[in-house]
């Protein structure tokens, strides 16, 4: 919800209501979302580390 609000309205809301029912639809799901600032040089280093960590977790 916060990511969508930032993307659509270009504003950040530090406190928001949780989406009702999300825990039921997401139970047992596996996924990952990486969000980073592509205008910062150090962001590309984070991407490789994130992918490696995700692979390690998936293989367990």
Most confident by average pLDDT, 26-30, 43-47, 56-60: 56-60
Task: Check whether 42 is labelled as a binding-site residue.
Answer: no
Segments forming the whole domain that contains residue 8: 2-59
Task: Check whether 44 is labelled as a binding-site residue.
Answer: no
Tell me the two tokens of residue 50.
């994130």
Q: What is the pLDDT, as a whole number, of residue 22?
A: 56
Say what the pTM is. 0.43
Tell me the two tokens of residue 39.
């205008």
Task: Check whether 39 is labelled as a binding-site residue.
Answer: no
CB 26 within 8 A of CB 37: no
**Per-residue pLDDT tens for 1-44?**
777 788 788 888 877 776 665 555 556 667 777 777 778 777 66
The tokens 């590309």 sit on which residue? 44
What domain count does the chain have? 1
């Amino acid at each position: 919800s916060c990511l969508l609000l930032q993307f659509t309205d270009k504003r950040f809301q530090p406190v928001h209501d949780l989406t009702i029912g999300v825990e039921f639809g997401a139970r047992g799901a596996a996924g990952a979302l990486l969000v980073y600032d592509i205008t910062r040089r150090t962001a590309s280093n984070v991407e490789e580390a994130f992918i490696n960590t995700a692979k390690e977790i998936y293989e367990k």
